[in-house]
């Protein structure tokens, strides 16, 4: 028998990436017979229109929706992403790669990184990137999907996508509407609360109509129309650790085939992204307004483009931090309404996906059990904080001393959780994934090592393997990684063969 208290209606406020991801996923899982899902968006207000790089968990989201990957890449002018190249971050003139996938392999309880540190500390082994198929393929502009199950580096390929954010929202809208989601065009002008408990009863639109629902999902962007303006949830500001609060973005013409990776280049008061798509390249300069004017930021961006700018630079403002609660009463905030961290590791779209997954895991009834809400908030806060620490790491672990911006970041006190991770790495070279951490050992190792943190010792477990055996095993991994590249087509060939998009009309 159906629970008489089961939800009958959900209203999603906002039709940006967050709104349409939520609509598509909820419709797919909940079906359209027992529940109505309505999405309200305002063309007049528009969407943020950036958000072009992703991380591997998005493959799970697409699988949930039953999306064919080639159709998806074609529809969004997408390319494949094997990781991020960081240029000038440790100090000007340096570069390193943060790959998806893994470095080498663990041998039983003996971790790969323990063996690698041990060899490097007595003059052996190869640079870290030699053990990553994703780093090697990115440097060689090659890509293929992982080969399932085989004992080859090709089975360790991890990847995600770059895509056009506007086309992505349109693609998801098509899916959601096909699954029964009802779209309402209109501007929300008022949020009506139930007098008895302060839950949201309805939203009122500018045309005088009202939309009632049992559950509201706030995807209205930075202002948090429901979660903040109507329900009064506060904001925990992380600007003292992550002082960037502006971005300026511009598309540019492709110069040559798109690379299978994002590039992030550190600048005197921020950093610049380069995201290659099939039809153009997305670029943006993220910076701290306390250290740089908008005009200077735009000039730096335009001077750092590979190809001709295709539009006027567009300025965006943001505040880094999170809502004090993501789920309050009968309202769950997703996307920019829930908080924001700069796009250095492309985590925002992932946080939308994580929120949807947890909401599905704790799908409420109209009783809205307080324990479900508490658990949701606790898990999402942990996820936000672990990503926050990982992003801070990039800025703090630097040798750059060329501007007051970098001096501040290099010398600031960091969260206790991050300080502990760095201390453990410094002493033993150990990296670890804690509880539900998004970022794996590979990610922590790539960035700690890449930014110049020196491990003074190594994991004692590595001494369990004779030194010659350790050297031979790692040498073998590096050799098979290099030879696996021969089985990978060039990135542009892979796209041409499987998912070439139509040339857009100008």
Positions in the binding site for ligand FAD (CB under 6 A): 14-19, 40-42, 45-48, 50-54, 165, 187-188, 219-221, 225, 247, 284, 316, 318, 335-337, 343, 346, 348-349
Of the pair 64, 316, the CB lying nearest ligand FAD is at 316
Half-sphere exposure of 80 (CA within 13 A, CB side): 29
CB of 413: closest distance to ligand FAD in angstroms? 26
Order of strands across the sheet that contains 270-276: 95-99, 83-87, 262-267, 270-276, 281-287, 246-252, 314-317
Q: Strand, coil or helix: what is 38?
A: strand
Residues with Cβ within 8 Å of residue 238, at least 6 apart in sequence: 320, 321, 322, 341, 388
Residue 240 CA to residue 238 CA, distance in Å, equals 5
Per the DSSP assignment, residues forming a β-bridge with 314 are 249
Catalytic residue of the set 32, 81, 267, 441: 81
How far does CA 437 lie from the centroid of its chain?
13
| 135, 97 contact by CB (below 8 A) | yes
CB of 475 to ligand FAD, least distance (A): 37
CB of 113 or CB of 164, closer to ligand FAD: 164
Tokens 């658990």: give the residue: 375
By beta-carbon proximity to ligand FAD, the closer residue of 30 and 247 is 247
Concerning whether 81 is annotated as a catalytic residue, the answer is yes
Q: Among residues 287 and 494, whose Cβ is nearest to ligand FAD?
A: 287
**Residue with token string 């979660």:** 227
For residue 121, what are the contacts with CB-CB under 8 A and spacing of at least 6?
A: 455, 457, 458
CA distances 262 to 80, 217, 343, 345, 393, Å, are 10, 31, 11, 10, 19
By beta-carbon proximity to ligand FAD, the closer residue of 50 and 461 is 50
Dihedral, 48, 50, 55, 56 alpha carbons, nearest 10: 80
> Is 333 in contact with 225 (CB distance < 8 Å)?
no
The distance of closest approach from Cβ of residue 352 to ligand FAD in the complex, given in angstroms and rounded to an integer, is 6
Cβ proximity to ligand FAD, 336 vs 380, nearer residue = 336
Q: At 349, phi and psi to the nearest 5? A: -65, -35
Main-chain phi, psi angles of 318, to 5 degrees: -150, 165
Of residues 204 and 485, the one with the C-beta less far from ligand FAD: 204
Least distance CB 505 / ligand FAD (angstroms): 24
State whether residue 108 is helix, strand or coil: coil
Beta-strand ranges (E) seen in 8-144 are 9-13, 36-41, 79-81, 83-87, 95-99
CA-based nearest residue to 244, from 320, 297, 335, 313: 320
- Closest CB to ligand FAD among residues 133, 188: 188
Q: Do residues 231 and 318 lie in contact, with contact meaning Cβ atoms separated by under 8 Å?
A: no
Among candidate residues 215, 222, 221, 231, the one with its CA nearest the CA of residue 26? 215
- Give the phi and the psi of residue 265 in degrees, each rounded to 5: -115, 125
Shorter beta-carbon distance to ligand FAD: residue 297 or 495 = 297
Contact (CB, 8 A) for 453 and 431: no
Q: Catalytic amino acids?
A: 81
């Amino acid at each position: 028998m159906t629970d008489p208290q089961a939800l009958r209606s959900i209203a999603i406020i906002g039709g940006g990436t967050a709104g349409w991801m939520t609509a598509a996923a909820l419709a797919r899982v909940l079906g359209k017979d027992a529940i109505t899902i309505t999405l309200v968006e305002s063309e007049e207000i528009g969407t943020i229109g950036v958000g072009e790089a992703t991380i591997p968990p998005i493959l799970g989201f697409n699988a949930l929706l039953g999306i064919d990957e080639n159709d998806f890449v074609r529809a969004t002018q997408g390319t494949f992403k094997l990781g991020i190249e960081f240029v000038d971050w440790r100090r000007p003139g340096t570069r390193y790669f943060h790959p998806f996938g893994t470095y080498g392999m663990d041998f039983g309880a003996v971790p790969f990184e323990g063996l690698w540190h041990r060899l490097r500390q007595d003059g052996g082994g190869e640079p870290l990137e030699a053990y990553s198929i994703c780093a090697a393929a990115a440097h060689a502009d090659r890509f293929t999907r992982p080969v399932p199950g085989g004992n080859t580096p090709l089975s360790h390929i991890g990847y995600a996508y770059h895509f056009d954010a506007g086309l992505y929202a349109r693609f998801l809208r098509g899916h959601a509407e096909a699954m029964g989601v009802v779209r309402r065009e209109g501007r929300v002008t008022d949020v009506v609360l139930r007098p008895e408990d302060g839950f949201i009863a309805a939203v009122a639109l500018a045309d005088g109509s009202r939309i009632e629902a049992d559950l509201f999902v706030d995807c209205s962007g930075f202002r948090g129309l429901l979660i903040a303006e109507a329900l009064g949830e506060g904001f925990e500001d992380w600007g003292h650790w992550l002082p960037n609060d502006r971005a300026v973005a511009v598309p540019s013409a492709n110069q040559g085939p798109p690379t299978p990776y994002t590039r992030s280049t550190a600048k005197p008061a921020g950093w610049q992204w380069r995201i290659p798509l099939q039809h153009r390249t997305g670029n943006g300069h993220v910076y701290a307004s306390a250290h740089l004017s908008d005009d200077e930021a735009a000039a730096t961006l335009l001077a750092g483009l590979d190809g001709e700018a295709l539009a006027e630079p567009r300025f965006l403002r943001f505040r880094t931090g999170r809502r004090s609660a993501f789920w309050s009463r009968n309202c769950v905030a997703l996307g920019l309404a829930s908080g924001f961290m700069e796009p250095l590791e492309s985590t925002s779209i992932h946080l939308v996906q994580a929120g949807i997954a947890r909401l599905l895991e704790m799908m409420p009834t109209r009783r809205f059990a307080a324990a479900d809400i508490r658990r949701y908030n606790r898990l999402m806060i942990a996820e936000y904080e672990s990503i926050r620490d990982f992003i801070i790491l990039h800025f703090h672990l630097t040798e750059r001393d060329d501007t007051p911006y970098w001096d501040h970041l290099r010398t600031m006190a960091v969260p206790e959780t991050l300080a502990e991770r760095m201390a453990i790495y410094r002493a033993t070279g150990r990296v670890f994934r804690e509880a539900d951490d998004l970022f794996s050992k590979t990610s922590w190792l790539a960035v700690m090592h890449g930014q110049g943190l020196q491990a003074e010792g190594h994991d004692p477990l590595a001494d369990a393997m004779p030194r010659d055996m350790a050297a031979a095993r790692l040498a073998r991994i590096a050799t098979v990684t290099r030879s696996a590249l021969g089985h990978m087509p060039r990135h542009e060939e892979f796209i041409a063969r499987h998912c070439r998009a139509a040339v857009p009309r100008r």
